[in-house]
């Protein structure tokens, strides 16, 4: 999505195994790379959210398309809404060329508040 390129010189290899591996990478790279771009933009938006910071929330962990934050229970409902907004529209307020342009697909975000990660799962 952000225009990065991945060179795959083995896509024209005479060895079928190398060529097949490069072909799979050619199909998979744009999907995984775009997912990584979205996750990174969302984490930056969460990290830059002054309300979250001022109210004691901090980003602890990111695993694939999940993020975990820690903060006070008293403001969990508002924090939840802010995190959902950041993840549904990751380009907003980042000064990126995608800002203001919605994605072609809706990003559906599931967000839970719990005392432990296990309880949130």
Domain ranges of the chain: 36-112
Which CATH topology does 36-112 take?
A: Alpha-Beta Plaits (3.30.70)
DSSP states of 62-79: EETTEEEEE--GGGHHHH
Per-residue pLDDT tens digits of the chain, which is 121 residues long: 777 889 999 999 999 999 999 999 999 999 999 888 888 889 999 999 999 999 999 999 998 888 999 999 999 999 999 999 999 988 876 665 565 566 778 889 999 999 988 898 7
DSSP state of 107: P
Instruction: Give the global pTM.
Output: 0.79
CA 46/CA 41 separation, integer angstroms: 9
Q: What is the pLDDT of residue 92?
A: 77
User: What is the CB-side half-sphere exposure of residue 29 using CA atoms within 13 A?
Assistant: 13
Q: What is the pLDDT of residue 120?
A: 85
Q: Which residues of 82-109 are buried (b: 16+ CB within 10 A; e: fewer)?
A: bbebbbbbbbbebeeebeeeeeeeeeee
Q: What is the pLDDT of residue 100?
A: 55
CA 20/CA 114 separation, integer angstroms: 44
Strand partners, 61: 68
């Amino acid at each position: 999505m952000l225009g990065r390129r991945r060179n795959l010189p083995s896509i024209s290899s005479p060895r079928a195994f190398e060529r097949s591996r490069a072909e799979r990478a050619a199909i998979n790279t744009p999907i995984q790379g775009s997912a990584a771009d979205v996750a990174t933009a969302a984490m930056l938006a969460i990290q830059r959210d002054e309300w979250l910071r001022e109210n004691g929330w901090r980003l602890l962990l990111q695993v694939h398309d999940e993020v975990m934050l820690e903060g006070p229970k008293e403001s969990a409902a508002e924090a939840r809404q802010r995190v959902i907004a950041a993840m549904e529209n990751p380009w907003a307020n980042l000064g990126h060329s995608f800002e203001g342009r919605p994605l072609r697909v809706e990003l559906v975000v599931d967000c839970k508040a719990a005392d432990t990660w296990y309880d949130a799962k």
